[in-house]
Chain A
Amino acid sequence: MKGGLRQSMAWLHTWSGLLLGWLLVAIFITGTSAYFRDEISFWMAPELHQSVASEATPELAWATLGATAPDARAWDIILPHDRSPVAELRWQPDTPEAAEGGGRRRGERVEMDAGSGEILEPRASRGGDFLYRFHFELYGVPRIWARWLVCVATMMMLVAIVSGVITHKKIFKDFFTFRPGKGQRSWLDAHNATAVLALPFHFMITYSGLLIFMVMLMPWGMNAAYEEGWRGFFNDVFPRQEAAATGGTPAAMVDAIQPLVNQAEATFGQPAQRISVSWPNRDNARIEISTGKEPAITDRRRGGNPALVFDGGGNLLDTKPGLYDDGASARIYNLLVNLHLARFADPATRWLFFLFGVVGSAMAVTGMLLWVSKRTQQLRGREPGFNLRLVNGLNMAAITGLMTAMAGYFIANRLLPADLAGRESWEIRVFFLTWLATLLHALVRPHRRGWMEQLAALALLWLAVPLVNLATTHSHLFSAIAWRHGALASFDLVCLVIAAGAGYALWRLAGHRPVRKPARAARAARALPEGETAS
């Protein structure tokens, strides 16, 4: 019975893993990059790199919005912070469409040099958002379909995690076991080690991934308990203060915002982060200045920051301490979702999560490679059949192909002319064309040489990213280090690390030829990604 259970769980693990493994690899890799979504976006907009936050930033932003959009429905100023040195200005024009959407529609947005107040015009790019969005809604597929597909993969991952734990015979005894250079055995060890060591992360990321989409996936509790379904539920748990539906009569607002910013910072002892105004320059204007606060990972995602609310004349109306009395279940929900999004993460913690993402990607990757390795070994030297070649080829496209395409995306960002029409779509087109090219290559050459060629392309392209950056911008690795700009320097350094890693894998693959003696072993090795046969 016990053996039977383990066997059926192994079967479940293998096939649920294979069926959506490629998608999971892509989700893991792009999702890992999303931990540095802001930093990637920033790197991809060199026009913003000269901006430096200054004392005058709030006032400059206030004046700019006052001149640009005096009669908007709402303003939003996101002050420079440690992940971005520019001020972001958003406003919602007072149009009939905006009124229809209750003012929730996306409005205009510009970036302002935080030191000079100049409106910056970065090259059109989706930046890190493209990779971030890809990790849960893919691209070019109707959003709802893509989200369901990703969630099905996530659910399968949850099943694979639990069935994997049941399958793993000696989970504690093998906790530290990794035996390199032993073909299939090594892939299994690597898969086990990356899975077991980071098990808490894998479970958290998968489970919280489902929770983020709970309204779509599991609305039945909300529908059963609330007349208005999930809307009723959310209004109950996370009540939102709605802004007034219509603007009042024109009325002047405070000329200087700095005193209000100072007041908010003094009240909460934290730097101001955001200035939001509803109905600016009307008699019902509301100015809300929110600050950061001590991180509490169990806090709600939105609206949890302390804030002062003023009227247009600068009279204090309300003090929101940003404390909520959430129930235990809400705190668990908040905890998991905040961990998934790495909210409240300081730079060190963000790197840690990035590393866990890399480990998770490695787990998915080694699982896929293990599948091929095991079946290649079972061939005992016979030519691999169509299915095995197909899986091996798809592995290649999903792993080295995707990584190569990402490098292509970054290079396109630097090389495409700034005034190209639809420029941001072209960056994405380069990404998918590169990926398609690697897929075709992988299907034609699903063997060891194919892997070597793709690793070479991967290493070269990632090496090219910092080089192209050096040739085309002033904010290359050397100046980024001179400016002590961690995010910019790290981006180029990570590119070099990835290139070096791919180069090392290539070197191992090339240098680790199986012994000449049996011709059939050499043939079998062709299907093996690392070219390692059983010793």
Chain B
Amino acid sequence: MTVLPLIGSLGYAGLTALALAMKRHHEAMLGAKPDERRLRVFRVLGWALLVLMMAGCLYRWPTALGLSMTLGMVTLAGLPLVFLLPYRPRLAVPLAVGLPVLACVGLFV
């Protein structure tokens, strides 16, 4: 299986984590008021996932194209999130966990 779904879902999970690091979105998605420490954890997690996604891009494509596609993948991953947040905020987090898991399973099927 192609590694593309994994890259995309990692990007989506990373951006969701970054959104969780913002008070407004955190409340909308999880329904709880976060404290500063939680926000910081999500910020680190988000960036870590995005770095992982970049590693995936560099694996999938040669260096220059891989770096360009990293930016493209952030765009791609951000689009569904932007639409989920106003319409189905509660769905965003389960997807962020589920999609990378599914993509990993897909790698071995």
Direct interface between A and B, CB < 8 A: yes
Residues of A at the B interface (CB closer than 8 Å) are 173, 175-180, 193, 197-198, 200-201, 204, 294-298, 331, 335, 339, 344, 348-349, 352-353, 355-356, 359
Pairwise interchain contact B81-A295, C-beta atoms closer than 8 A? no
Q: How far is the CA of A331 from the CA of B63 in the complex (A)?
A: 12
A352 to B11: give the CA distance in the assembly, Å. 14
Let me know if B62 and A201 touch, CB within 8 A.
no
The answer to whether A173 touches B22 (Cβ under 8 A) is yes
A201 to B71, CA, bound (A): 8
Quick check: B86 and A298 within 8 Å, CB to CB? no
CB nearest to A348 among chain B residues:
B4
Contact yes or no, B82 A200, CB < 8 A: no
Chain A contacts for B82, CB-based, 8 A:
176-178, 193, 197
Given the complex, which residues of B lie within 8 Å of A177, measured CB to CB?
82, 85
A-B contact pairs, 22 of them (CB 8 A): A175-B78, A176-B15, A177-B82, A197-B75, A197-B79, A200-B68, A201-B71, A201-B72, A204-B68, A295-B61, A295-B62, A296-B62, A297-B62, A297-B64, A297-B65, A335-B68, A339-B68, A348-B4, A349-B69, A353-B72, A356-B72, A359-B79
Given contact pairs A197-B82, A201-B75, A359-B79, A176 touches B19 in the complex (Cβ within 8 A): yes
Kindly provide the distance from the CB of B105 to the nearest chain A CB, expressed in whole angstroms: 20
Residue of B nearest to A335 (CB): B64
B79 touches A344 (CB 8 A): no
Known contacts A197-B79, A200-B72, A359-B75: A344-B65 contact under CB 8 Å: yes
User: What are the 7 tightest A-B residue pairs by CB atom distance, in nearest-first order?
Assistant: A200-B71, A297-B65, A197-B78, A198-B75, A298-B64, A178-B82, A176-B19
Which residues of B have CB within 8 Å of A198?
A: 75
Within 8 Å CB of A352, what residues of B?
69, 72, 76
Q: Residues of A contacting B71 with CB < 8 Å?
A: 200-201
CA distance A40 to B15 in the complex (A): 35
Select one of B62, B69, B83, B86 contacting A294, CB under 8 A: B62
Smallest Cβ-Cβ distance to B16: which chain A residue: A176
B1-37 vs A, Cβ < 8 Å mask (1 yes, 0 no): 0101000000000010011001001000000000000
Chain A residues within 8 Å of B86, by CB: 178-180
Contact A178-B83, Cβ < 8 Å, known A197-B75, A200-B75, A352-B76? yes
- From B2, B4, B68, B81, A176 is in contact (CB under 8 Å) with B81
B21 CB to closest chain A CB (Å) equals 11
Majority SS at the chain B contact face: helix
- What does the 1/0 interface line of B87-102 toward A look like (CB < 8 Å)? 1000000000000000
Name the residue on A nearest B78 (C-beta).
A197
Are A176 and B78 CB-contacts (below 8 A) given A348-B2, A348-B4, A356-B72? yes
Q: How far, in angstroms, from A198 to B75 measured CA to CA in the complex?
A: 5
B68 and A297 within 8 A (CB): yes
Minimum CB–CB distance from B46 to chain A (whole Å) comes to 11
Since A176-B25, A179-B86 are in contact, a sample of 12 more A-B pairs with Cβ atoms closer than 8 Å, ordered by chain A residue number, is A175-B78, A176-B15, A176-B22, A177-B85, A180-B86, A193-B82, A201-B72, A298-B64, A335-B64, A344-B65, A352-B72, A359-B75
User: Which residues of chain B have C-beta atoms less than 8 A from A331's C-beta?
Assistant: 64
A30 to chain B minimum Cβ distance, whole angstroms, is: 21
Q: A residues within 8 A CB of B72?
A: 200-201, 352-353, 356
Are B65 and A178 within 8 A (Cβ)? no
In Å, the complex CA distance between A176 and B28 comes to: 12
Q: How far is the CB of B69 from chain A (nearest CB, A)?
A: 7
Chain B 40-82 residues near chain A, CB threshold 8 A: 61-62, 64-65, 68-69, 71-72, 74-76, 78-79, 81-82
Complex CA–CA separation, A326 to B79 (angstroms): 36
Instruction: Give bound CA distance, A2 to B68, whole Å.
Output: 33
Report A-chain residues with C-beta under 8 Å of the C-beta of B19. Answer: 175-176
Cα(A298)–Cα(B64), bound, Å = 7
- B6 CB to nearest A CB, Å: 13
Question: Complex formed: what's the CA distance from A175 to B21 in Å?
Answer: 12
Please give, as numbers and ranges, the residues of chain B lying within 8 Å of A344 by CB-CB distance.
Answer: 65
Chain A residues with CB below 8 A from B75, complex form: 197-198, 200-201, 356, 359
Q: Report B-chain residues with C-beta under 8 Å of the C-beta of A176.
A: 15, 19, 22, 25, 78, 81-82, 85
Q: Which residues of A contact B68 (CB under 8 A)?
A: 200, 204, 297, 335, 339
**Alpha-carbon gap, A349 to B86, bound state (A):** 28
- In the complex where A193-B82, A200-B71 touch, is A296 in contact with B2 (Cβ < 8 A)? no
* Chain A residues, Cβ within 8 Å of B87: 180
By a CB distance below 8 angstroms, the chain B residues around A197 are: 74-75, 78-79, 82
B residues within 8 A CB of A200? 68, 71-72, 74-75
Contacts of A296 in B (CB 8 A): 62, 64-65
Q: Which residues of A contact B4 (CB under 8 A)?
A: 348
Q: Determine the distance from Cα of A198 to Cα of B25 in the docked complex, in whole angstroms.
A: 21
Chain A positions within 8 Å of B65 at CB level:
295-297, 344
Q: Which residues of A contact B61 (CB under 8 A)?
A: 295
